[in-house]
Every structure is written in structure tokens, then in C-alpha cells.
């Protein structure tokens, strides 16, 4: 029998166990993520190492609700016969009969049963050579979906930074500069919550996230003055997004700055724009209250269809939403965020 420490992990004789119900000796790994307790089980040490790379060393956020426990089983399947040299196929999603499925191909897929708080992640051995896709499109698919459905969170595509327990959402289209703004906010002393995905408990308006990696393009380095911070980013691995864009993947747990130790209480949202400001001293402008709902829905098409959206949108309209135009330097945008946070 193959041991759990080998790359083959839990690959077993299909004729003796056609449905893979006897996966052999498993090891469990528990982590506090997005306010919930996740128990990862696998006979593959290599897959558990990917879990640790994604979620080890994160601040253990707690939300003001009972802490649910989700169980995620990870299985390593045989290498694909012809994996090819390019990126794997994109994940296709389906739902029905109480299940949510994300299928990359016949050897790489995710099956979730939100009502039972459980998920199965299956990955082929060759996917271990593509850790970015394995983490973000398979493991993260399971974690984010279970946490969102199981706790009634509103999942947002955006970033969040804060100070003294208060936070501001950074929303806007891809390429608007959210990641660069979040990076400069981190380097200038604001607490960093998340860069790409933020999850909000709508009744308390508490935001949580996974502050593991920061993804920035090479041109963002020109805004970083500190030699240590430039080295931290410049020596990070480079990942290639599905769009073809290449970015540094810098580990926030090994870099400068502070990660938000607890969920942040939101005080507002900023729609980050790539358009330059007409007045360099007035980058922020309030979005008209009558336009807030439409602007938020257009920016967050998936989140706007979730059960918690009406409460979130109503609370956000009361708080206020601003548009942030681009200044001469991202640090000018950080100064505007400090104003919203009352951290002058």
C-alpha cells in the first residue's frame, strides 16, 4: 500500500474499492477560517500541505454567531494521462438535489453538500504542480462556498482595509487599482483584511476575509519606496490568471504590515475608479443615495443575488458609498481612506 507521504497519496486499487469509500489512513487538519471551523481530512500529505499553504498562520476571525464546523475531504486521484503543458480547463459549475458541483475535468472536481456542511475535493496528482489553480479553483471553491452558505455571508469581489476595528470596502472593476491601493494601505500602517474576496455578515456589517496572499502586477513596484517591501514582492512567485495577466503572489504572512486580527466593522465602501481626478486634492466624491443600490448591484452581480444582499445594500446606503478617482500617487488614495476611517 502506498503511504500518505508519497505523491500518490490516497490512490488505491479501483477494483477492490470502485467508489473510493475506503480511503485508507487519514490525517486531519483544523483551521479557523472566515469565522468558521474547518476540518480537512486526507490520506495525502501533499494535499494537506496545500491547505496549510492557503490557511496556516491566519488570524482566527470570530463572528458574533455560533461557530459552525465544516468538514472537507481531499482525495488525490491518479495523474491525468494527457494533462498538457497549459493551464487546466476552467471550472464549470452545477447545482441540484442539494448539491453544488464545480468540475474542472473528470479527475479534478468539487462536490458540496451545504446542508450537511461537508465537501469533497478531488485533485489529480499532476495538479500538485499547479498549486495556484489547485488552491484557488478547487480547495477555495469548497471553503468559500461552505462558509458563505453556512453562515449567511455576503461574498464580495473586492478588498478591505481598516484601522482600530473599523473597515472600508474597496470595490470596482478589475484593473481599477484595488490591489495597488490595498498594498499601499498595508505599507502605510492600515490593517489588511483581504485583497480579492471579502465576506460580510450583513446584520452586524462585519467583514472577514483570508489575508494569505497579495496579487499585484510588476508595475505596482514603482510605488513602493521601502527596499524591504520591494524585495518581498519582487522575490515572490509569479502566477498567471485566467485572463492572461501575470501577477506577483506575495505571502502576506511573511511580509510587512499588519493583518486584521479580527473582523472589521464596516463604515462604508469605496468604488475605486481608474479615471484620474479632476482635482488632485478631492479624490473622493459621494455617490448619490438614489444611485447606490444600482451601482453596488452592477459591481457585484453574484453577491446581489444572495439572500443577505437586501440587508447589506440597505445598511450600506445608510453608511454611504463613495467613488475614489485616481490621484498622482496611490498614497493619495490611502489618505482619502484614512479620512473615511476617521484616522486622520
Tell me the three cell numbers of residue 218: 510588476
Do both 191 and 324 map to the same domain? yes
Asked which of 124, 151, 178 is the last residue of a domain, the reply is 151
d(CA 333, CA 142): 34
Residue at a domain's end among 100, 118, 151: 151
The answer to whether residues 69 and 200 belong to one domain is no
Q: Are residues 143 and 159 in the same domain?
A: no
Number of structural domains found in the chain: 2
Q: Are residues 322 and 235 in the same domain?
A: yes
**Residue that finishes a domain, picked among 151, 182, 215:** 151
Q: Judge whether 147 and 153 are in contact, CB under 8 Å.
A: yes
Average confidence (pLDDT) per 10 residues, the chain, 344 residues: 43 67 78 97 96 96 94 94 79 96 96 97 96 96 97 97 97 88 96 96 97 94 94 95 91 95 97 85 90 96 97 95 91 93 82
Name residue 118's beta-bridge partners. 71, 113
What is the model's pLDDT at position 10? 52
Residue 60 lies in a domain: yes
Give me the pLDDT at residue 8, please: 47
Domain residues for the domain of 225 are: 155-341
Residue 305: C-alpha distances to residues 75, 126, 195, 299, 313 (Å): 32, 36, 22, 12, 11
- Quote the pLDDT of residue 334: 94
How many other C-beta atoms are found inside a 10 Å radius of the C-beta of residue 292? 21
What pLDDT score does 24 carry?
Answer: 62
Same structural domain for residues 147 and 207?
no
The number of helices, as runs of H, and strands, as runs of E, in the chain is 8, 20
**Calpha distance 2→251 (Å, rounded):** 33
Residue 143 shares a structural domain with residue 160: no
- Indicate whether 116 belongs to any domain: yes
Q: Cell triple for residue 29?
A: 487538519
* pLDDT attached to residue 17: 73
188 in the same domain as 266: yes
Neighbouring C-beta atoms of residue 241, cutoff 10 Å? 13
Output the pLDDT for position 35: 96
Q: Are residues 123 and 147 in the same domain?
A: yes
Q: Taking the model in full, what pTM does it have? A: 0.91
| 5 falls within a domain | no
Amino acid at each position: 500500500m502506498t503511504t500518505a507521504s508519497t505523491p500518490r497519496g490516497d490512490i488505491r486499487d479501483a477494483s477492490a474499492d470502485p467508489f473510493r469509500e475506503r480511503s485508507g489512513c487519514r490525517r486531519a487538519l483544523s483551521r479557523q477560517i472566515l469565522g468558521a471551523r474547518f476540518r480537512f481530512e486526507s490520506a495525502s500529505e501533499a494535499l494537506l500541505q496545500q491547505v496549510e499553504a492557503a490557511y496556516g498562520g491566519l488570524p482566527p476571525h470570530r463572528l458574533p454567531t455560533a461557530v459552525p464546523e465544516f468538514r472537507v475531504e481531499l482525495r488525490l486521484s491518479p495523474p491525468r494521462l494527457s494533462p498538457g503543458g497549459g493551464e487546466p480547463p476552467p471550472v464549470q459549475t452545477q447545482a441540484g438535489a442539494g448539491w453544488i458541483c464545480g468540475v474542472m475535468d473528470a479527475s479534478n472536481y468539487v462536490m458540496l453538500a451545504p446542508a450537511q456542511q461537508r465537501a469533497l475535493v478531488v485533485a489529480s496528482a499532476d495538479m500538485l504542480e499547479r498549486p495556484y489553480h489547485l488552491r484557488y479553483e478547487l480547495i477555495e471553491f469548497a471553503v468559500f462556498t461552505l462558509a458563505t452558505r453556512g453562515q449567511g455571508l455576503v461574498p464580495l469581489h473586492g478588498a478591505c482595509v481598516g484601522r482600530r476595528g473599523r473597515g472600508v470596502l474597496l470595490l470596482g472593476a478589475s484593473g481599477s487599482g484595488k490591489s495597488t491601493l490595498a498594498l499601499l494601505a498595508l505599507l502605510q500602517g492600515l490593517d489588511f483584511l483581504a485583497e480579492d474576496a471579502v465576506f460580510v455578515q450583513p446584520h452586524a456589517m462585519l467583514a472577514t476575509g483570508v489575508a494569505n496572499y497579495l496579487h499585484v502586477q510588476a508595475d505596482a513596484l514603482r510605488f513602493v519606496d521601502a527596499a524591504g517591501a520591494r524585495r518581498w514582492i519582487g522575490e515572490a512567485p509569479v502566477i498567471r490568471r485566467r485572463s492572461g495577466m501575470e501577477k506577483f503572489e506575495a505571502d502576506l504572512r511573511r511580509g510587512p504590515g499588519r493583518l486584521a486580527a479580527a473582523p472589521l466593522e464596516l463604515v462604508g465602501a469605496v468604488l475605486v475608479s481608474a479615471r484620474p481626478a479632476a482635482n488632485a486634492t478631492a479624490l473622493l466624491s459621494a455617490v448619490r443615495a438614489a444611485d447606490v443600490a444600482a451601482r453596488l448591484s452592477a459591481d457585484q452581480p453574484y453577491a446581489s443575488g444572495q439572500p443577505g444582499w437586501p440587508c447589506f445594500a440597505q445598511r450600506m446606503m445608510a453608511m454611504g458609498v463613495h467613488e475614489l478617482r485616481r490621484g498622482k500617487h496611490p498614497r493619495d488614495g490611502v489618505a482619502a481612506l484614512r479620512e473615511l476611517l476617521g484616522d486622520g
